[in-house]
Amino acid sequence: ELLLGWPEEAMPTLSALAPVAPEDREKATQALALVREKGSFEGQLTLVGPDGRRMPAHVTGVRAEIGGKPYVVGMAIDISRRLAAEEALRVSERNYRAIFNSTSDGLAIHDETGRILDVNDRFLALFNADREMVQSRSIEDMSAGVPPYTEVDAAAHLRRALVEGPQVFEWLSRRADGTTFYTEVALHAGKVGDENRIIASVRDISRRRAAERSVAEWKRRYDLLT
């Protein structure tokens, strides 16, 4: 009565399907049949009031005998707020994912142990890997694995990001096919809820390093000539 606005005097005259939205009445009929056959039902239905007010509800029904007569005892819980919260979460996730994927740098979110929790699409492209593969790998697997590009070295960078603040350094990374390439990594630490998280921004600098080597070689040749 309170949730849907049905007047008290109308309640004894209502059929079981009267408070059910038209699009859910077939489902409600099947639910009643299930209660008669199996003894119970649990699911979601949209209920309506006499003024057309709609309420999504989690509905349960059980078969019972009262005074020797068979009855269906039903309960409906308003889940409007829960559904609204779930939708808001979905929208937030879509917005987060859109922002996460809008950057030209590869992004990876780590916990404080270095475990990869999430990556953006650019990160997957840089490492020529899929999401499942990346999340099952350690930092060692995605690094050259020789000093100063080992898991121990990476852990030291992560600790400094947590304690000292942002860190920027060059790193020799390893793609899924085993080839290596130089990257510039920027680490920024923060909290998500009560958990420490570190965002790694990764940029391929192979071309920049090749250009620097070329300039250095030309300078060496020039010095020899002069």
Instruction: State pLDDT tens for residues 48-69.
Output: 999 999 999 999 999 998 888 9
Whole-structure pTM over 0.75, yes or no?
A: no
Neighbour tally for 15: CB within 10 Å:
7
Q: Which of 75, 70, 15 is nearest to 39 (CA)?
A: 70
Contact between 114 and 139 (Cβ < 8 Å): yes
Write down the residue that tokens 């349960």 correspond to.
Answer: 60
CB 29 within 8 A of CB 48: no
Q: How many percent of the chain have pLDDT more than 90?
A: 66
Q: Are 87 and 56 in contact (CB under 8 A)?
A: no
CB atoms within 10 A of CB 172: 14
Q: Which of 82, 76, 47 is nearest to 60 (CA)?
A: 76
Residue 74, classed as helix, strand or coil, is: strand
Q: What is the pLDDT of residue 99?
A: 85
Q: Average pLDDT over the chain, rounded to whole?
A: 91
CA 191 vs CA 101, 103, 112, 195, 198: distances in Å: 20, 21, 10, 5, 8
Is a pLDDT exceeding 80 seen at residue 226? no
pLDDT above 70 coverage of the chain, percent: 100
